[in-house]
Chain A
Amino acid sequence: MSAHSIQLDRHGRLKHFLTTEGLSRDILTSILDYAESFAGVSGRAVKKVPLLRGKTVANLFFESSTRTRTTFELAAKRLSADVLNINIATSATSKGESLRDTLHTLEAMHCDLFVVRHGNSGAAHFIAGQVADNVHIINAGDGRHAHPTQAMLDVFTIRRHKPDFESLRVAIVGDIAHSRVARSKIHALSTLGVSDIRVIAPKTLLPVAIESLGVRVFHDLHEGLREVDVITMLRLQRERISNAVLPSEEEYFQCFGLTEARLSVASPDVMVMHPGPINRGIEIDSQVADGARSVILQQVSHGIAVRMAVMAMVTGAASDAGSGAD
C-alpha cells in the first residue's frame, strides 16, 4: 500500500487526510474552496453548522499541543460533532498499553473520526491501516513527516492574498530537517503549481535529498529572500544546540533570523508566516512578527475553517467532497 493511496477510497475520494503528498490538484483545491465556505461561520452569531451532528470525534494527542488541538476541537464543535480529547502522553500508553490496544479500545466506543498527533513519522499511516473501514483519520502531525492541515491553512492564507500560484516565489526558512510543516507545505505548493520554492538553512538543518522534492537550496538568507512573495519561518528547537546541530541561538539569529532590514530584498508586499509557537528573537524579530506583513494570526483563524472542511470531507458529510465545493 503506497503512502498516499491509502488516504483515498475506491471512488478516489478523501477518506483519511494523512499527507498532502500524492493528492491531486483537484482535491487540494476543493479543500481550499470548501474551507472558504466555512470561513464565514466563525464570524456569525450562531457559530454552528449541523454537518457532523451525531458523530464522535476523538482528538488523540500523543504529543502535547495547544493551538492545533484547540482549533481541531473548535472545528469539530462548529460542525456539531461530539468531541473527546484524549491526552495519551499522560494516559494509557504510559501504563504500558500498546498503541494498537489503545486504538481498539477507542474504536469500541464507536468514534467516527480520530485526529492524531504522534511523535513518530508514519504513525497516522499506521493507525489508518489498523482501524475499521468506517473510521477516518486526520493527521495532526506525525514526527518529521507531515502536518497536512497546517500546510493547507498556510496555503489557504496565501490564496486569500495572492491567488496566482503559478507566479509565486515562496521561501521556507529554518529547521527543514525536523519540520513536518515544511514537507507538507512543499508538496501542497508544488501540486498547486508553485514552481519557485526555496529552502533556506545551514546544511545541518536540511535533509540530505531535499532537492529531490523540487526545491532550491540556499545557505544565505539574503540571497534566498530576493523577490520572494511569501516567507515561512520555522520554529527552532533548543535541543538543536545541545545536539551539535547549531553553535548558538545568537549566531542563528544573526544568520537566519528574520528582521525588517532583511525583508528589504523581498517583494514589497511579501507575506510573513509562522506555524507557531514563535521564538521571538531567535528565528524572527518581534517587529516583523507583529508587523504589517505578518499574517501569523490570520493563519490561526483560518486553521478552524480548513479543519472544518477536512473533517466534513473525510467523513463524507461534505455533499460533493473530492470534486469541488458545495
Chain B
Amino acid sequence: MRILIRNGRLICPLQQLDDVGDVCIADGRIVAVGAPADGFSADLEITLEGEFICPGIVDLSVHTREPGFEHKASIASESAAALRAGVTGMVCPPNTRPVTDNPAVVELVRQRQARLKQTRIYPLGALTRGLEGRQLTAVAALRQAGCVGLSNADRPIVDTEVLRRAFEYAASFELPVFIHPEDSYLRNQGVMHEGKISTRLGLPGIPETAETSAISRALLLIEQTGVRAHFCRLSCARSVELVGAAKQQGLPISADVGICHLYLTETDVDGFNAQCHLWPPLRTDRDRLALLDGLRRGVIDAICSDHQPHDEDAKAAPFSSTEAGASTLEALAPLAFNLVATRAFTPTQIIGALTCHPAAVIGIDSGSLTPGALADLFIFNDRQQWTLSAAALTSAGKNTPFDGWEMCGRVMHTFIDGKPAFTYE
C-alpha cells in the first residue's frame, strides 16, 4: 500500500526535525519525508492542516491482562485502545497468569497478537521464576522467544544475592532489566504516600525511602554487574537525584515516569479516591515538579501510560482493599502534549519521551521519521477539545482518575506497518 500524507507538522526527535511537510509511505516503510519522492503515486492521500505527524508511541508499560485476567481486559480490547491512543508498540510486563517466565507464554501472547494485526507487543520476561524472587529464569530461551527485557514486575526481589545473580545472568545475554524500585519491608502494608494526607486519612503510608533505598541498592549492583537497567515509574524527587547522579557517572541506565505522576499528587487521594490508588503512590507536588524537571533534563528518558485496566469490582471497596493502577492509555497523548503548552516543553522533547527514547530502551528500530524506517506513525490534532468520559473509553478498564477532565488534542490517525490502523470519526 502506498500512502501520501500532505501538509503535516513533522516531528522526528531523533533528527531534531520539526518542520511542515509531507510523508510518503510504501510497502510498510517510510520512503520520503519533507517533499514527496519524485513520481510517487499514492493509493491513499491524506491532506492535513498542519496537524502533527509523529512516529508511533512506544509505551513502556501496558498491562493487557492476558493471559490470566481476561475479566479485566484482553489483548484485543487493549490493542484497540492503544491504536486509538497513537500507541503502535506496547511493552507488556510479565505479571500475567501464568507468569511470563517461559517461552510458551511468550508464544501464546505473540499468536494472539498476530491474529489481530494491530499494535505490536514487546513482552518482558520474568526476571525470576513465578516472580518469586528465588530462581533464575531461562533468559536465553526468553530472548529467543522475543522478550525485549526482564522484569520482576510488581514483586520486588527481596534477596540481594538473588538480585545480584539475576543482574549478572541478564547481563550475560545482553537483555536490559526493568526495575520497579521498592523495598517491600519499608512499604509494609502501605497503600499511599506517607505524608500529610496519609496522616489525616489514617491510611498506611509508603515512605519515599521504600523507593530511594531500593534505587541505591540497585545502582550499586548495576555498577558491579554491568547490566543495562531501566528504572520504572520514578515517583519522588530524591529518586530523580539518585538516577541523575548515576547517569553522570556513566552507568548504563534509563528511567521512565507514568503520566499520572506528572499530573496528580497525594491530595488527589483525599476523600479515599480509589481511582488514585496507584503503585508507586502519587506523592507531593514538590515530587511532581521534580519529575517534570527530570524529564526536561533528560534524567527521565520516557513517559509511559502505565496502563492498568481493572474490572469495576477492583475499585469498589474501602481504599486499602482496592487494587492499584489506572486505565490511562487514552489519556496519554493529550496529557503529554499538554506539557508543551503548560510546562514549556518543546514538541520534540515530548515526542522523544514517547517514541525514540523508549524505543532505545528496548533496543528496537522504531520511533523515527526517516526514509527506510518502519512506517508506524500517528497524526495528532493538538487543537481539538474534548471531555474524557470513563464510560466512553475503548479500553475494557474504565478506572480512570481523569473522568470529566477537559482534554486538548486528539489522535486522528494511527498507521502500523504502513497501513491505516485507526481513523477518528
Which residues of A line the B interface, CB within 8 A?
1-3, 6, 21, 98-100, 118, 120-123, 125-126, 130, 142-146, 180, 183, 207-210, 212-213
CA distance A158 to B200 in the complex (A): 23
Given A2-B270, A2-B271, A99 and B317 contact (CB-CB distance below 8 Å):
yes
Nearest 4 CB-CB pairings of A with B: A144-B202, A145-B202, A122-B272, A120-B318
Interface segment, B90-98, B191-199, B378-386? B191-199
CA distance A1 to B272 in the complex (A): 9
B318 with A118: CB separation less than 8 A = yes
A122 with B201: CB separation less than 8 A = yes
Interface centre among A126, A210, A212 (most CB of B within 10 A): A126
Q: Which of A100, A180, A207 contacts B199 (CB 8 A)?
A: A207
B window 317-355: CB within 8 A of A: 317-321
With A122-B272, A142-B202, A213-B199 given, name 12 new contacts (CB 8 A): A2-B271, A120-B320, A122-B201, A122-B203, A122-B318, A126-B319, A145-B203, A183-B200, A207-B199, A208-B198, A209-B199, A213-B200
Q: Which residues on the B side are within 8 Å of A143 (C-beta)?
A: 202-203, 318, 320
* Shortest distance from the beta carbon of A304 to any chain B beta carbon, whole Å: 26
The yes or no answer to B226 lying at the interface (CB within 8 A) is no
A21 with B200: CB separation less than 8 A = yes
Q: Which residues on the B side are within 8 Å of A120 (C-beta)?
A: 318-321
Which residue on A lies nearest to B319, using beta carbons? A122
B318 with A121: CB separation less than 8 A = yes
A208 with B313: CB separation less than 8 A = no
Q: Which residues on the B side are within 8 Å of A130 (C-beta)?
A: 316
* Shortest distance from the beta carbon of A243 to any chain B beta carbon, whole Å: 9
The yes or no answer to B397 lying at the interface (CB within 8 A) is no
CA distance A117 to B245 in the complex (A): 48
Given A121-B201, A143-B202, A208 and B207 contact (CB-CB distance below 8 Å):
yes
Q: Which residues on the A side are within 8 Å of B200 (C-beta)?
A: 21, 183, 212-213
CA distance A272 to B170 in the complex (A): 62
A208 with B202: CB separation less than 8 A = no
B320 with A212: CB separation less than 8 A = no
Which residue on A lies nearest to B207, using beta carbons? A208
CA distance A3 to B271 in the complex (A): 4
Q: Which residues on the B side are within 8 Å of A209 (C-beta)?
A: 195-196, 198-199
The yes or no answer to B181 lying at the interface (CB within 8 A) is no
CA distance A142 to B195 in the complex (A): 19
* Shortest distance from the beta carbon of B259 to any chain A beta carbon, whole Å: 24
* Shortest distance from the beta carbon of B355 to any chain A beta carbon, whole Å: 38
B window 250-303: CB within 8 A of A: 270-272
Q: Which residues on the A side are within 8 Å of B199 (C-beta)?
A: 207-210, 212-213
Q: Which residues on the B side are within 8 Å of A118 (C-beta)?
A: 318
CA distance A100 to B315 in the complex (A): 11
Q: List 15 contacting pairs A-B, 8 Å CB cutoff, sorted by A.
A: A2-B270, A98-B316, A100-B316, A121-B202, A122-B319, A125-B271, A126-B272, A126-B317, A143-B318, A143-B320, A207-B198, A208-B194, A208-B195, A208-B205, A209-B195
Which residue on B lies nearest to A1, using beta carbons? B271
CA distance A122 to B320 in the complex (A): 8
A125 with B313: CB separation less than 8 A = no
Q: Which residues on the A side are within 8 Å of B270 (C-beta)?
A: 2-3
B202 with A146: CB separation less than 8 A = yes
Return the CB mask of B3-27 against A: 1 if under 8 Å, else 0: 0000000000000000000000000
CA distance A3 to B199 in the complex (A): 14
CA distance A291 to B316 in the complex (A): 48
B272 with A3: CB separation less than 8 A = yes
* Shortest distance from the beta carbon of B25 to any chain A beta carbon, whole Å: 48
Which residue on A lies nearest to B321, using beta carbons? A120
Which residue on A lies nearest to B197, using beta carbons? A209
Which residue on A lies nearest to B312, using beta carbons? A100
* Shortest distance from the beta carbon of A116 to any chain B beta carbon, whole Å: 10
B window 198-249: CB within 8 A of A: 198-205, 207
* Shortest distance from the beta carbon of A317 to any chain B beta carbon, whole Å: 28
CA distance A208 to B208 in the complex (A): 12
* Shortest distance from the beta carbon of B307 to any chain A beta carbon, whole Å: 25
A180 with B202: CB separation less than 8 A = yes
* Shortest distance from the beta carbon of A127 to any chain B beta carbon, whole Å: 8
* Shortest distance from the beta carbon of A177 to any chain B beta carbon, whole Å: 9
Q: Which residues on the B side are within 8 Å of A122 (C-beta)?
A: 201, 203, 272, 318-320
CA distance A146 to B200 in the complex (A): 9
* Shortest distance from the beta carbon of B229 to any chain A beta carbon, whole Å: 30
Which residue on B lies nearest to A206, using beta carbons? B199
Q: Which residues on the B side are within 8 Å of A207 (C-beta)?
A: 198-199, 205
* Shortest distance from the beta carbon of A189 to any chain B beta carbon, whole Å: 15
* Shortest distance from the beta carbon of B395 to any chain A beta carbon, whole Å: 23
CA distance A126 to B277 in the complex (A): 14
CA distance A183 to B203 in the complex (A): 12
Q: Which residues on the A side are within 8 Å of B207 (C-beta)?
A: 208
Q: Which of A3, A142, A183 contacts B318 (CB 8 A)?
A: A142
B195 with A125: CB separation less than 8 A = no
Given A21-B200, A212-B196, A121 and B320 contact (CB-CB distance below 8 Å):
yes
Which residue on A lies nearest to B194, using beta carbons? A208
A123 with B318: CB separation less than 8 A = yes
CA distance A207 to B202 in the complex (A): 9
CA distance A99 to B203 in the complex (A): 19
Q: Which residues on the A side are within 8 Å of B313 (C-beta)?
A: 98, 100
* Shortest distance from the beta carbon of B192 to any chain A beta carbon, whole Å: 10
Which residue on B lies nearest to A184, using beta carbons? B202
Interface centre among A118, A122, A183 (most CB of B within 10 A): A122
Which residue on A lies nearest to B198, using beta carbons? A207
* Shortest distance from the beta carbon of B266 to any chain A beta carbon, whole Å: 10
Which residue on B lies nearest to A4, using beta carbons? B271
Q: Which residues on the B side are within 8 Å of A3 (C-beta)?
A: 201, 270-272
Q: Which residues on the A side are within 8 Å of B203 (C-beta)?
A: 121-122, 143-145
Interface centre among A2, A21, A120 (most CB of B within 10 A): A120
Interface centre among B199, B201, B204, B318 (most CB of A within 10 A): B318
* Shortest distance from the beta carbon of B195 to any chain A beta carbon, whole Å: 5
* Shortest distance from the beta carbon of A314 to any chain B beta carbon, whole Å: 19
